[in-house]
Amino acid sequence: MIQAKKKICSSCQQEKVLWKSTPKLCKDCYFRMPENKKPIEKKVYVIPKESTKRSKENRLYHAKRILYLTTHKECEAVLPGCLHMASDIHHLYFGSDRNLHLTDETTWKAVCRECHRIIHDEMSNDELLKLGLRRK
């Protein structure tokens, strides 16, 4: 194996293998110089607000929602304090089950804002099941 020749570094004055010939610097001295330091590039990863799969599902849902509300203009819940004009979609499946039935129109009810608030804030699961506003 061929050994590299050692020469005197122009910076530290020690006999070492030279890294660069102009100026005659060893590896340590070369990288100590501020102009030779490589800037550390940090890769910035931005977490998307939603996955591409979810984004496609949401676009489909919003298109279907508009069509559904144009054909179902009356509130289907008709609870006390009802405004009678549907503005929201109530999903009969809550929580993680809702994702499975997000675009299934057979699991939707057109409801007014006030009825939707009552359904989610004031009614128990048993009451919702009796009125047909929730499925198991």
Q: Is the pTM for the entire model greater than 0.85? A: no
* DSSP bridge partners of 18: 26
Look at residue 136 and tell me if it is in a domain.
no
- So what's the pLDDT on residue 21? 67
When divided into structural domains, the chain yields a total of 2
Q: Which residues of the chain have pLDDT under 70?
A: 1, 20-21, 36-37
Whole-number pLDDT of residue 112: 95
Scanning the structure block, which residue is given the tokens 């194996």?
1
Give me the pLDDT at residue 110, please.
96
Contact call for residues 10 and 30 (beta carbons, < 8 A): no
Q: Identify whether residues 29 and 64 lie together within a single domain.
A: no
Q: Which structural domain range is residue 82 located in? A: 52-131
The CB-side HSE value for 102 (13 A sphere, CA atoms) comes to: 14
Both 77 and 37 in one domain: the answer is no
